[in-house]
Amino acid sequence: YSNQEDYRVVERALRDIGLISGFAPLVIILGHGSDCLNNPHESAYHCGACSGSRGGANARAIAAMLNDPRVRRQLLARGLEVPEETRFLGGLHHTATEAVTYFDLELLPASHMRQLHLAVDIFGRVAERNAHERCRRFETARLDFSPAEALQHVDDRTEDLAQTRPEYGNSTNAVCF
């Protein structure tokens, strides 16, 4: 494989996050970015590692490189074995709405669709719970919102011109996985 930088970039990414063994059949790599109509500080919610841009393109690129058998051979030569059945999928977490967009789904083998559906379900429930937590800080949100209503409320804030800080509440995240 002639492009030595591809495998070095992905090797560094995997080693830096500690993902060097125990690979799941489906590994989802998400970038993050904001989508809102009326936030003058929108770019501040994008990825700092991506020079203030949305991180989805980088997540998509790393997933594509990690799925390339030539890159995997280079990784194996450097002592990092990614199982043949493991597939990587890039995506973008829209931080204002809590939505997740997945890229290149047409390249995902049918054998991995069950894992994808499970992940989509889990991310959907996590989005509702995070929106519910964020709504505790909004004066415009009722205190008795269900998680689904909270998710709709945070989505609506992104297009409400009266909301200059539609992503309020994201700075209090206490856990990252």
Residues 75-95 have pLDDT tens digits of 999 999 999 999 999 999 988
Asked if 114 and 175 touch (Cβ cutoff 8 Å), the reply is: no
Token reading at 140? 């415009």
Cross-strand partners of 32: 93
Name the residue among 30, 160, 13 with its Cα closest to residue 91. Answer: 30
Q: Return phi, psi of residue 92, to 5°.
A: -135, 125
CA atoms within 13 Å, Cβ hemisphere of 162: 4
Residue 174's pLDDT band (boundaries 50, 70, 90)?
Answer: low
Residue 23's pLDDT band (boundaries 50, 70, 90)?
Answer: very high
Q: Return phi, psi of residue 116, to 5°.
A: -65, -45
Residue 22's pLDDT band (boundaries 50, 70, 90)?
Answer: very high
> Which of 88-92, 102-106, 153-157 has the lowest average pLDDT?
153-157
Taking all residues of the chain, what is their mean pLDDT, rounded to a whole number? 85
Residues 27-55 have pLDDT tens digits of 999 988 877 666 666 555 555 555 556 67
Cross-strand partners of 26: 87
Predicted confidence (pLDDT) at residue 164 exceeds the cutoff of 90: no
